[in-house]
């Protein structure tokens, strides 16, 4: 199914982007003190509380060919509005706080003594972070990744504004469900709902298994 394949592709690429940026941002926020740090932290958490439609509108304004930045991108052959790139950006922006905050919480729970031991042995802050902190925070990183991916799968509001609802290009599962309902094909919509519910249930189950230590825990 094209919509399912497209949803998985968009959510996965968005996850990769968020993982790279989220881990880098957590490194900066953990090791550096600077004016406005709490404001920056709040800014990157903002997509969690803003309506997706608002985020989509902001992205549309930023990347619209009618604005300087959007026009510059188009001049270099990069079209964001009404394209798969736009869908990926929307998914990444909306789901980023879930990854960022999960990793931040996991890093804050690490015993700092273990990091201090590495420093006394001559390890740089960068090496401590990548060799000690991240491996110890793997559960939080994996949980954040699953949440981020699941949120990307279900993204609708921001995507439809910046990427549109183009079959085979930007019509992800939520948009396909919307289109089927709009045309009165409730059976087709119900089929897609079942698919996405099973997929997201599996992802949530995986998180439960991580937090409880077993996928088949009776706790």
Please tell me the predicted confidence (pLDDT) of residue 207: 77
Report CA-CA distances (Å) from 151 to 26, 46, 113, 120, 203. Answer: 20, 15, 35, 41, 10
pLDDT digits (tens, 9 = 90+) for 112-154: 888 888 888 888 888 889 889 999 999 899 999 999 999 999 9
Instruction: Using the predicted structure, report yes or no on whether residue 96 has a pLDDT greater than 90.
Output: yes
Query: 25 Cβ partners below 8 Å, 6+ apart?
Result: 44, 100
Q: 158 pLDDT band (50/70/90 cuts)?
A: very high
Rg of the chain (C-alpha set): 20
What is the average pLDDT score of the chain? 91
What does the alpha-carbon distance between residue 177 and residue 189 come to, in Å, rounded to a whole number? 5
Please tell me the predicted confidence (pLDDT) of residue 121: 85
pLDDT digits (tens, 9 = 90+) for 29-41: 988 888 989 999 9
Please tell me the predicted confidence (pLDDT) of residue 208: 76
Percent of the chain with pLDDT over 70: 95
Instruction: Using the predicted structure, report yes or no on whether residue 215 has a pLDDT greater than 70.
Output: no
Q: 76, 46 in Cβ contact below 8 A?
A: no
What does the alpha-carbon distance between residue 58 and residue 89 come to, in Å, rounded to a whole number? 12
Q: 211 pLDDT band (50/70/90 cuts)?
A: low
Query: 61 Cβ partners below 8 Å, 6+ apart?
Result: 67
Over residues 20-27, the mean pLDDT reads 95
Task: Could you please state the CATH topology (level 3) that the domain comprising 2-171 is classified under.
Answer: MetI-like fold (1.10.3720)
Please tell me the predicted confidence (pLDDT) of residue 213: 62
What does the alpha-carbon distance between residue 58 and residue 52 come to, in Å, rounded to a whole number? 10
Q: 70, 31 in Cβ contact below 8 A?
A: no
What does the alpha-carbon distance between residue 167 and residue 14 come to, in Å, rounded to a whole number? 20
Instruction: Using the predicted structure, report yes or no on whether residue 216 has a pLDDT greater than 60.
Output: no
Please tell me the predicted confidence (pLDDT) of residue 203: 84
Over residues 42-47, the mean pLDDT reads 94
Instruction: Using the predicted structure, report yes or no on whether residue 219 has a pLDDT greater than 70.
Output: no
B/e letters for 106-140, b = 16+ CB within 10 Å, e = fewer, are bbeebeeeebeebeeeebeeeebbeebbbebbeeb
């Amino acid at each position: 199914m094209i919509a399912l394949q497209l949803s998985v592709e968009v959510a996965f690429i968005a996850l990769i982007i968020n993982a790279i940026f989220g881990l880098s941002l957590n490194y900066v926020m953990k090791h550096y003190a600077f004016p406005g740090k709490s404001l920056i932290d709040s800014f990157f958490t903002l997509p969690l509380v803003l309506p997706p439609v608002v985020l989509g509108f902001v992205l549309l304004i930023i990347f619209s060919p009618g604005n300087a930045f959007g026009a510059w991108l188009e001049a270099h052959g990069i079209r964001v509005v009404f394209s798969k790139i736009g869908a990926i950006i929307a998914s990444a922006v909306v789901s980023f706080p879930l990854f960022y905050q999960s990793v931040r919480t996991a890093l804050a729970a690490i015993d700092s003594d273990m990091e201090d031991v590495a420093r006394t042995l001559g390890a740089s802050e960068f090496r401590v972070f990548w060799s000690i902190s991240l491996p110890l925070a793997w559960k939080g990183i994996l949980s954040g990744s699953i949440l981020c991916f699941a949120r990307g799968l279900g993204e609708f509001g921001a995507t439809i504004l910046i990427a549109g609802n183009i079959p085979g290009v930007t019509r992800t599962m939520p948009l396909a469900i919307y289109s089927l309902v709009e045309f009165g094909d409730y059976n087709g919509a119900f089929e897609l709902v079942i698919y996405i519910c099973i997929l997201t249930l599996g992802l949530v189950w995986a998180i439960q298994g991580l937090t409880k230590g077993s996928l088949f825990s009776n706790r």
